[in-house]
Structure 1
Amino acid sequence: MTPSPTTGSHTTEPAPIDLRDPGELLAATPHLLGFEPSNSVVVVGHRGTAGTRIGNIVRADLPPAGGEADLARQLLGPLTHQSVAATVAIIGGRRPPGSAGPPAAAVAAAVGKVFEQAGLPVLHALWVPEIRAGAPWRCYEESCCAGHLPDPGSTVMAAVSAHAGLVTHSSRAAMERQLQPVASDVLARRAAMLSRRVGDGPRDDVASLRRGRAAVRTVLARAWKGTLLLSDTEVVELAVALSLPQVRDACLATALPAGSVGAVTAERLWLLLTKHTPAPERAQPATLLAYSAYVRGEGALAGMALDAAQAADPHHLLSQLLRQALQHGLPPEKLAGLAQSCDTRPIWTAPEDSESSNRPSASDPARRPTGSPDDAG
């Protein structure tokens, strides 16, 4: 499994969360990634002139013996754009027999060496057996640098994440299960319906574009009200609509402003369609899901959605471009320009409600960072 980034590129300075204490930073890791890591190496990039802001975060499985340097080079890529320093955390791993020091020391050493050669110093190298309240942690370099984790569920970071509506999953596998397709017989039935629709002839005329936009707009309005059950006919109609580049590109704009009521509503629909749409059409909603997740800093989910898109259609161009952006740690705010340039006429705008002005945006501290070797998270 390759490493993966999450991206924290905050553009404003609201209510900063103090993560300078190593224990606080380790306890915040599940909320920064979106899931609880285990047997992992996590590298946190630091941004700003003084390195006081969290930037991209990259996670990967602990490598087999001998693979430490290769993994360190993979981890470096997403952190080179804006990071001025880094912190590496080894989560899990067992102490070698007869050793009093933390395990996976070769991994920490390889990351430190590779990063230093690239001009990106590692400020801390930390180890913790697991992310749980009271777990002992310690530094690799200084034995007196040690402590015990606070309760990860009771930290300020946990509270801010919950307020922002960000879900922290129990594991990477649990996050990935969100995207599992529905039953194969359901997908086969819808694939047959889609095949008949495709055989009906050209679909890129003005009437088809109008019908496609209307189909998306109708379902988004319903989703905003909390209704997300879709019939076979609706799934097929939406798959046909999203197969039109003009409609799909207009849907990219629903991801902005990142973290807004409208963006959250649209992302829920793209997630549902990723599960309910057969291949190769599944690639379209999966790519929209990836884009929405990416611009709000959910790198792990973005990476998983891109995996789904490319499995459904290996030649899907937009998903390939997003994959490259994720692997190179392109800041989400730069990628947001893609949606801003796609369509001047919004396909749908969420109605104003009493809570919309109070919901955290993607620039709030709860926004998760990005980068990429395995999850983008």
Structure 2
Amino acid sequence: MTPSSTTDSQTADRSPIDLRDPGELLAATPHLLGFDPVDSLVLVGHRGTTGARIGNIVRADLPQPGDEAALARQLLGPLAHDSVAVTAVVVGGRRGDATGPPARTVVTAVREVFGQAGLPVSHALWVPKIRAGAPWRCYEQSCCAGHLPDPASTVMAAVSAHAGLVTHSSRAAMERQLQPVASDVLERRAAMLRRRLSAASRDDVASLRRGRAAVRTVLARAWKGTLLLSDTEVVELAVALAQPRIRDACLATALPADSAGAVTAERLWLLLTKHTPTPERAQPATLLAYSAYVRGEGALAGMALDAAQAADPNHLLSKLLRQALGHGLPPEKLVGLATSCDEEPIWTAPEDRTPPSPCSPHDSARPSTGPPAGDG
């Protein structure tokens, strides 16, 4: 089982949102993760000298009996990097003890494993589900209890929506965003790609200029609204991103994190991850992972890295990002990947309007002839 990991929450860091109240923290959990957790263990790291900042967040399915300590050891790595304390949250679980919340053995294992590593669990909370009015309570103090506010009406929800971030109904719903389009579409494009790549000289000046122009043109169009791509354009962008100098220049589109320009670029990388055949799919999937990582959405970053490595197991940049995510490296440590590129900016977003959110339902790709095809 691979846990979901969320890096340092950029939304929480940039806005003065008070999550000290347990109910508010629980209601914010779906927005921090990017999806609504079910039957999950969520560990929230706290950063800073006083632990007042939200740091890394990891989530995993509740373990089978006997696997609690192993899971705790697995989750320690991403949190040990810069957390000074941890809040443990159990969502769901079977009510085996009417006198207290379930999954107490999981919390006990986390306390023991993390305590041995010098990382205290400052608070442990249980809630049956993240819903308005759901009862919550602490594991240690029976008087520590309450009912959740509406997660969709909190300040955290408003800030997330304003930043263009999407909170999915489940982890599976988030993962479905990355599902490839129909196999016959991918096979057609793969054949086109083979012909195009066999005739291309990847490193000459003309190829670089053509590739940069293709990326810039589509990003400018994405900024304006609905993004439609023909087979030919998908292939042209795949050829462009296969050139390391262009791919590396595209990393800079993720900065500043959560900016309107970054949201636009992430929409394109997500679309291309769905519509590009393997092994070239690894390039947009890695750009999607980097964009999600630097804005603090580690769960989506991990899914995108899974897609990249499935498409090309030898893809170096996706391997490096996977190691960084596994060790809980803060997003600010990865900014240098984009700023160290010697290329001039491949695209700069205008500042006069806000684009659609990253997962606009209007995103689609279409064949060279005929009507637009759906994403499913």
Structure 1 length-normalised TM: 0.91
Change (3 A) 1:269 1:14: closer
Is 1:319 aligned with 2:291?
no
Paired residue type of 1:316 = H
Query: How far 1:326 moved relative to its partner?
Result: 0.4
Q: Which residue of 1 aligns with 2:134?
A: 135
Change (3 A) 1:355 1:195: closer
SS in structure 2 of the partner of residue 29 of structure 1: helix
Larger RCO, structures 1/2 (Cα 8 Å, 6+ apart)? 1
2-structure distance, mates of 1:280, 1:190? 12
| 1:1-377 to 2 correspondences below 5 Å | 1-8=1-8, 15-96=15-96, 99-354=98-353
Q: Which residue of 2 aligns with 1:375?
A: none
Query: How far 1:199 moved relative to its partner?
Result: 2.0
SS in structure 1 of the partner of residue 347 of structure 2: coil
**Conservation of the 8 A alpha-carbon contact between 2:294 and 2:335:** yes
Query: How far 1:201 moved relative to its partner?
Result: 4.8
Change (3 A) 1:218 1:180: same
Paired residue type of 2:188 = R
Change (3 A) 1:200 1:312: same
Deviates more, 1:186-195 or 1:151-160: 151-160
Q: Deviations over 1:263-292 (max 9, x none)?
A: 111110000000000000000000000001
**Conservation of the 8 A alpha-carbon contact between 1:9 and 1:333:** no
Query: How far 1:138 moved relative to its partner?
Result: 1.0
Paired residue type of 2:178 = L
**Conservation of the 8 A alpha-carbon contact between 2:126 and 2:138:** yes
2-structure distance, mates of 1:162, 1:276? 26
Query: How far 1:12 moved relative to its partner?
Result: 9.9
Query: How far 1:206 moved relative to its partner?
Result: 1.1
Provide the alpha-carbon RMSD of the alignment: 1.6
Change (3 A) 1:76 1:18: same
Identity percentage of aligned residues: 82
Q: Deviations over 1:59-106 (max 9, x none)?
A: 01111111100100111111111110010000011111x542211111
SS in structure 2 of the partner of residue 199 of structure 1: helix
Query: How far 1:343 moved relative to its partner?
Result: 2.9
**Conservation of the 8 A alpha-carbon contact between 2:308 and 2:315:** yes
Runs of 4+ in 1 over 4 A off after TM superposition: 9-15
Query: How far 1:352 moved relative to its partner?
Result: 2.1
Query: How far 1:202 moved relative to its partner?
Result: 2.9
Q: Deviations over 1:184-203 (max 9, x none)?
A: 00000000101111222532
Q: Which residue of 1 aligns with 2:360?
A: none
Structure 2: unaligned runs, 5 residues or longer: 358-376
Query: How far 1:155 moved relative to its partner?
Result: 1.0
Query: How far 1:11 moved relative to its partner?
Result: 10
Query: How far 1:256 moved relative to its partner?
Result: 0.9
Deviates more, 1:242-251 or 1:146-155: 146-155
**Conservation of the 8 A alpha-carbon contact between 1:294 and 1:332:** yes
**Conservation of the 8 A alpha-carbon contact between 1:253 and 1:343:** no
**Conservation of the 8 A alpha-carbon contact between 2:38 and 2:129:** yes
